Amino acid sequence: MKRRLIIGNWKMNPATLEEARRIYQSAKNISNKLNKTDVVICPPFIYLSTFLNKKIQSSLKIGAQDVFFEESGAFTGEISPMMLKNLGVNYIIIGHSEKRAEGETEELISKKIQAALDIGISPILCVGEKERDTHGNYLDILKTQIKNSLNKVSKKHISKLIVAYEPLWAIGAKDAMDPATVHEMSLFIKKVLSDIYGHDEALSTPILYGGSVNFRNAVDIITKGEVDGLLVGRESINSTGFVELLKVVDLL
């Protein structure tokens, strides 16, 4: 039985704790009923501790949207891997295109990835080209992003790594990438990982697709795109749509 991984990135939403609790509760209710789907939601930092109350057992896992690489010290506004670990966070999104657009470099991303792995939290490394050209330059761009983002990560550490392929032009857009192209890109990412770490490691690294996924296109993207799961933005804060998405994926 193949398990799928669905990760919801709430980004800077919602504005109130009350609304956050409502969205969380509906994700929790449905994820407790799923058989083949692992669900992670990544709310803003400020809501994490509310959802990580250890007395409440749930199959819904909680992730963070970023982390800093240092352990502690004079780093105003930052959150350390240990703080997240102590809270019970299992996943961290790292290198999202919206953070890269704010100036996050691949050097910084690679430090964050290593810091998450060192402490035993799964990093979700986001990669993706800004635009497509007709000469295939976007493939080199993607390869460089992956290599640079992982340059501090040794083979023995990558078993917890997850890669999310998110072409920038498909994020927050009307349509997702077509599933056949998603398939090509997931194979390409496996090939790049295989060149760095070897065949078995590449095959066992989950590859997710992200960019305008909703309950209508999720099944085709997973089955025809042959990805291990999805990174979902807008649809993850639309409770009705997210519940429906999880239901249809779990039936696969």
- Positions marked catalytic: 96, 166
Burial of 133 (0-12, 13-18, 19+ CB in 10 A): exposed
Taking CB positions, which residue lies at the least distance from ligand PEP? 233
237 is a contact residue toward ligand PEP (CB under 6 A): no
CA distance 146 to 150: 6
Cβ(125)–Cβ(164) under 8 Å? yes
- Which strand (E) or helix (H) includes residue 37? strand 37-42
Structure tokens at 103: 């100036």
Provide the minimum distance between the beta carbon of 212 and ligand PEP in the complex, in angstroms, as a whole number: 4
Residues binding ligand PEP: number (CB under 6 A): 12
Q: Give 247's Cβ-side CA count (13 Å radius).
A: 11
Q: Which residue has the tokens 């810091």?
A: 115
Provide the minimum distance between the beta carbon of 198 and ligand PEP in the complex, in angstroms, as a whole number: 29
- Please give the residues from 124 up to 163 whose contact with ligand PEP meets the rule CB under 6 A: none
Residue among 43, 167, 179, 211 that touches ligand PEP (CB under 6 A): 211
100 is a contact residue toward ligand PEP (CB under 6 A): no
213 is a contact residue toward ligand PEP (CB under 6 A): yes
SS3 41: strand
Could you tell me which stretch among 149-157, 182-190, 199-207, 228-236 binds ligand PEP (CB under 6 A)? 228-236
Residues that bind ligand PEP (CB under 6 A): 9, 166, 171-172, 210-213, 231-234
